[in-house]
Amino acid sequence: MQFSIDDSRSGKKHLHVDRNEYALRRINKKGAIHWQCVRRGCSGSASTFNNTVQLRVAHTCDVSGKRLIKEKMRRRCDSESVPVPQIYEEELCKAVAGGMNISGMHFDSVKSSLYRQRNHYIPTLPITLDDVNVPQEWQVDNVGNQFLRFTSPMPNKMLVFVTERGLNELASCDHWNVDGTFKTA
């Protein structure tokens, strides 16, 4: 039986067997490792010893396609800048088209998990102007062209974002009109 042992997001060891995930419960004196299903209320357990795994107690939790759908949503929240509700809708539509039963999978039941995952992807908000540091991946547009063109030093920090096309349009104009739409200080 295939299995893998990985570190979870919290840094703890987790065992993966088929579509089930187990958390480390204890290691006995002989070296056998006992694992417990990570889903609250589930009595599923397994043990590993000498690179073999033995499933000890059957699962009482739902390991259906709903968990897989949620994992797909979380992976997309971690790597895409698409709004979370849109990711939810798209993944549910794919599941329904694939014939999966998604009853009871409401947005309210997954939104906190998805937004928490999204927070890993989006940089933290700066507190002061001096803290403003735009990572390289956010300095380019969706195609990979340079979007952040200029950053001025403190005390009056200014960031200039413009595409190549926008820059050419501005260069071809004789005069510009500016309003205070983007004034922040």
One-letter amino acid identity for 128?
T
In three-state secondary structure terms, 82 is coil
Token pair of 148, please?
């952040």
Which residues lie across from 184 on neighbouring strands?
none
Higher per-residue pLDDT: 169 or 58? 169
Higher per-residue pLDDT: 164 or 60? 164
Q: What is the pLDDT of residues 36-47, one digit of tens each?
A: 988 877 888 899
For each of the domains in the chain, give its residue range(s) and CATH number, in order of start. 3-57 (2.20.25.240), 63-121 (no CATH), 129-172 (no CATH)
pLDDT given at position 89: 93
pLDDT given at position 62: 59
d(CA 174, CA 49): 77
d(CA 118, CA 110): 12
| Torsion angle of C-alpha atoms 167, 169, 174, 179, degrees rounded to 10 | -70
pLDDT given at position 185: 40
- The percentage of the chain sitting over the pLDDT mark of 90, rounded to a whole number, equals 17
d(CA 4, CA 51): 10
pLDDT reading at 31 higher than 70: yes
Query: What mean pLDDT do residues 20-44 have?
Result: 87
